[in-house]
Amino acid sequence: MFVYMLNIHLILIFIVNICQGIERPLVIGHRGSAYLPELTLESQSIAHAYQADMVEIDVCLTRDNQLIVIHDLYLNAVSNVKDIYPNRSRSDGYHYVIDFDLNELRNLTIHERIIPFTNTQVYPARFPSSSSIPFHLATLNETIELLLGLSHSTNQQYQLLIEIKNPEYHSQYNTSISSILISTLQAYNLTESHHPIVIQTFHIEDLLYIRENLNSRLRLIALLTWNHLNESSSNFDFYRSEEGLQKLETFVQAIAPNMELLVNFAEDGSIINVTNLTVLAHKYNLAVYPWTFRHDTYKGNFEQLIDFFHRTVQVDGFITSQPDIVIELLEKKI
Ligand SMILES: *[C@@H]1O[C@H](CO)[C@@H](O)[C@H](O)[C@H]1NC(C)=O
Ligand SMILES: *[C@@H]1O[C@H](CO)[C@@H](O)[C@H](O)[C@H]1NC(C)=O
Ligand SMILES: *[C@@H]1O[C@H](CO)[C@@H](O)[C@H](O)[C@H]1NC(C)=O
Ligand SMILES: *[C@@H]1O[C@H](CO)[C@@H](O)[C@H](O)[C@H]1NC(C)=O
Ligand SMILES: *[C@@H]1O[C@H](CO)[C@@H](O)[C@H](O)[C@H]1NC(C)=O
Ligand SMILES: *[C@@H]1O[C@H](CO)[C@@H](O)[C@H](O)[C@H]1NC(C)=O
Ligand SMILES: *[C@@H]1O[C@H](CO)[C@@H](O)[C@H](O)[C@H]1NC(C)=O
Ligand SMILES: *[C@@H]1O[C@H](CO)[C@@H](O)[C@H](O)[C@H]1NC(C)=O
């Protein structure tokens, strides 16, 4: 009962937050923004400067249990790790974050995402991966200090959406990445639902753990996808059902599904019809933030795509690599 009431309280605050002066859906900068190498402080700064309502980041643990901001469990797609530590890969050829101490990782430089072991950029239209600018890995602490510092210096409220990467993988190393995250946030006094931090992960049971065992009052979002992608052992077939959404309502404020769970697309990328997931989620007071809207790779008409998700699907937010473009399109349409 207590948990239930706590949640009503959280949901109300969440709705108030969302409604504060924002008439359009939220715009969330995926890995910062697409304009500089992903997740660097520079890339995050651009998303903040473009007035993204939130900046989405991913966190992993180093060997010495420090939280760093990186998307993959390995370092090879975004750094020069193989040049700096040629003898530290595992038998699959990859260098894993968990095998390095933070001080070792500070020696790396970061570049635009490539296909590991090639010179091929994943997103050719983005910042050149061959650039010699020494971007660096950001720690979570630095990212929080950027958020708080910019909020102070610009007198605007920025928010961070923190994705916990693969809690089950981290637990193989006997560490609860969720506990370390919550205690790190506590050290910054970031504990309340009105604070500028939101947490998401694909391992839904970790969200329940954060709410019920760690007693966190922070806003939580359930990432949803298909079971066959193995993003976690959570049963997404269940969490996408009416019964599952009803359960989610008791401990999270929103769902973040891949956009193909909300809309059926044809082979050529055109829209066929809308699924019932958004309507069902709204029935259980869950906001809906689909991902990932990429202007540089979408084959169809990006403006029509955004308009469709806004007006027809009626999502509550967009997770996008180009927050500036999505904000412009949404504000133009109001
Ligand atoms: C690291 O590997 C290179 C070849 O990949 C080898 O020449 C070198 O001796 C190794 N260094 C150490 C310290 O094992
Ligand atoms: C990495 O940085 C540490 C200091 O934190 C230094 O002792 C070490 O030699 C550096 N390693 C390489 C390969 O540059
Ligand atoms: C984790 O803890 C278990 C049980 O205490 C132990 O058997 C295992 O070796 C530990 N693993 C690591 C990677 O420390
Ligand atoms: C980050 O901040 C936490 C909490 O203050 C602290 O325990 C931790 O050592 C810091 N880590 C780094 C890498 O600065
Ligand atoms: C957190 O709040 C406590 C109590 O109000 C205060 O003493 C401490 O300085 C704050 N810490 C930070 C990092 O703001
Ligand atoms: C997910 O795991 C199953 C069973 O281990 C495997 O067959 C499948 O290829 C995996 N899928 C992906 C996308 O990795
Ligand atoms: C929507 O499209 C899918 C895929 O083509 C189809 O299986 C489904 O029956 C359609 N649903 C409705 C309500 O038209
Ligand atoms: C929603 O759609 C799914 C898949 O098409 C279907 O299995 C489910 O029964 C529908 N749920 C409701 C409540 O309409």
Reported confidence tier of residue 22, pLDDT bands at 50, 70, 90: low
Dist. CA 174 → ligand 3 center (Å): 6
Distance CA 140, CA 75 (A): 16
User: pTM value?
Assistant: 0.91
DSSP 240-268: TSHHHHHHHTTT-SEEEEBGGGTEEE-TT
Question: By alpha-carbon position, which residue is closest to atom 6 of ligand 5?
Answer: 189
**C-alpha distances in Å from residue 88, one per residue of 27, 98, 107, 165, 275:** 39, 11, 14, 22, 46
The predicted model gives 132-151 an average pLDDT of 97
CA 90, CA 76: separation in Å to the nearest integer? 12
The amino acid occupying position 51 is Q
State in Å: Cα 162 to ligand 3 middle: 27
Q: Of the bound ligands, which one is closest to the alpha carbon of residue 230?
A: 6
Query: Residue 333's pLDDT is what?
Result: 57
- Burial classification of residue 83, based on how many CB atoms lie within 10 Å of its CB (0-12 exposed, 13-18 middle, 19 or more buried): exposed
- What percent of the chain has pLDDT above 70? 93
Taking the CA of residue 84 as reference, the ligand 2 atom at the shortest distance is 13
Site to substitute for ligand 5 among 189, 190, 195, most atoms within 8 A of C-beta: 189
DSSP letter, residue 26: E
What pLDDT is stored for residue 249 in this prediction? 98
Q: Measure the CA–CA gap between 185 and 62, rounded to whole angstroms.
A: 17
Ligand 3 atom nearest the C-alpha of 173 is 13
pLDDT beyond 70 at 134: yes
Q: Mean pLDDT over residues 289-313, rounded?
A: 95
Q: With a cut of 60, say whether residue 119 has pLDDT above it.
A: yes
End-to-end CA distance of the chain: 40
Domain boundaries, the chain: 2-72+138-333
The structure tokens 């599952």 sit at 244
Mean pLDDT along residues 147-171:
96
DSSP 129-149: TT----B-PEEHHHHHHHHHH
Residue nearest to atom 14 of ligand 5 (CA): 188
pLDDT tens per residue, range 263-274: 999 988 889 999
Listing DSSP states for 2-21 in one string gives HHHHHHHHHHHHHHHHHHSS
Query: Could you tell me which CATH class the domain 2-72+138-333 is placed in?
Result: alpha beta
Question: Which residues fall within 8 angstroms of residue 190, CB to CB, at 6 or more apart?
Answer: 144, 196, 197, 218
Q: Which residues line ligand 3 (CB under 6 A)?
A: 173-174
d(CA 96, CA 99): 6
157, 48 in Cβ contact below 8 A? no
Token code pair at residue 63 = 């060997």
Mean pLDDT within 12-27: 61
Mean pLDDT on 75-82? 98
Q: How far is CA 180 from CA 16, 17, 26, 100, in A?
A: 29, 26, 28, 17
pLDDT-derived band at 232 (thresholds 50, 70, 90) equals: very high
Task: Please report the pLDDT score of residue 19 as a whole number.
Answer: 46
